[in-house]
Amino acid sequence: MEYDMPKLITPDEVPNWVPGRLTVRNPEEGWSGLSVRGYRYSGSDVEVPAVRDFVVVAYREGHTDMRRRVDGRWSSADVGPGDVSLLTRAADSRWVWHDDLDVLLVFLTEQEVVETCQQMYDRDLYDVEVRDVLKATDPAIHQTALLAAHEAASGAAGSQLMIDSLSCQLAVQLLRGYADIQFRDAGTGDRLTFQQLRLVREYIREHLHEDLSLQDLAGVLALSKFHFARRFRNATGTVPAQRRMRGA
């Protein structure tokens, strides 16, 4: 019997389970890796399905005793302005609080975190998970959330560049302080490493207007066409695009 994987909810679907008054929302254009929503909440007891993205909750106004359940475990803390809560992606949660709050929800995509992690460590990544922290006093992450909200509200010139920078910055902050990272076994040997993939992609960008062959790409790594194609497929799940090749 086949079972459907549970659907992960998007940032736009969160209010279906956590109703509040929207105070800020990013535009769609230029916000592929990070999104932000601001809400004013009254005291609530809410069950939240697993969210597609990693979530940072930055508290702006109001103090309350917050209780949260993740993976069946309860934690509690008094939260207020300057504090942040962290929730890993794809985790069901329940939140209980009694007093009014003004918060920012910052959503960071899995792709953004994974790509940043690979660039930081230059290793093949198996999995990355952000630790579920109910209360962290982390001024750097809180300030990044505020800057993202400011960009969402202002939409000033250069906003897309700023958001790209903030997405990377937030991913680095989470990876440095709050992430559990599993790397692939370096001894597997039957797939291209992240560094090898990067070399191939750089070569393609530098020769974008040339009629590249499979042998050209294999030659970048001093591999045969057969070994390159197999390791490329094992690393990416795809084959090198035939339309970019000659004699492949």
Contact 216, 224 (CB under 8 A): no
Decide which of 245 and 14 is more confident.
Answer: 14
CA–CA separation, 27 vs 31, rounded Å? 7
Q: What percent of the chain shows pLDDT beyond 90?
A: 58
Contact 199, 220 (CB under 8 A): yes
Structure pTM?
Answer: 0.76
Within 10 angstroms of residue 140's Cβ, the number of other Cβ atoms is 14
pLDDT-derived band at 188 (thresholds 50, 70, 90) equals low
At 105-119, the pLDDT tens digits run 999 999 999 989 988
Residue with tokens 């934690």: 75
At 48-87, the pLDDT tens digits run 999 999 999 999 999 999 999 998 999 999 999 999 999 9
At 88-106, the pLDDT tens digits run 999 999 999 999 999 999 9
Decide which of 126 and 47 is more confident.
Answer: 47
CA–CA separation, 15 vs 9, rounded Å? 10
Q: Does the pLDDT value for residue 16 go beyond 70?
A: yes
Residue 157 has a pLDDT of 66
H or E stretch at 125: strand 125-130
CA-CA-CA-CA torsion sign (130, 131, 135, 136):
negative
